[in-house]
Amino acid sequence: MLINPVLEEMYWRGYMHKKLTRKYKPQTVILLAALFYSLYHLLSVIPLFAWPYNVMMVVPVFLAGLIWGYMRQRHHSIISPVLADTGIMGIYLLF
């Protein structure tokens, strides 16, 4: 529960952000990282929800990816998404 959010954010807001920054403008980096982050999560919700709910479940993930990408770009930190992901994982375990 604690390791997955840290590793996920290290990859998406750390590694991917850094790699994309070498080739693209900051706004494009945030958009691409959020898009790839959403597609990654779509693969995990496809078997859990029927169409169109599986796609609808990814919209908030995309929006969160945009916000967290902006925060990463502006503050150079991944702490906020790590805390949010940990909270989400905790809720999943309770319910």
**One digit per residue, pLDDT tens: the chain, 95 residues?**
667 777 888 898 889 988 999 999 999 999 999 999 999 888 888 888 888 888 888 998 899 889 888 888 888 777 777 777 777 777 777 87
Q: What pTM was estimated for this model as a whole? A: 0.78
For residue 19, the enclosing domain spans 3-94
**Taken in order 64, 43, 45, 92, is the CA torsion positive or negative?**
negative
| Number of domains observed in the structure of the chain | 1
The three-state DSSP-derived secondary structure of 27-92 is: HHHHHHHHHHHHHHHHHHHCCCCCCCHHHHCCHHHHHHHHHHHHHHHHHCCCHHHHHHHHHHHHHH
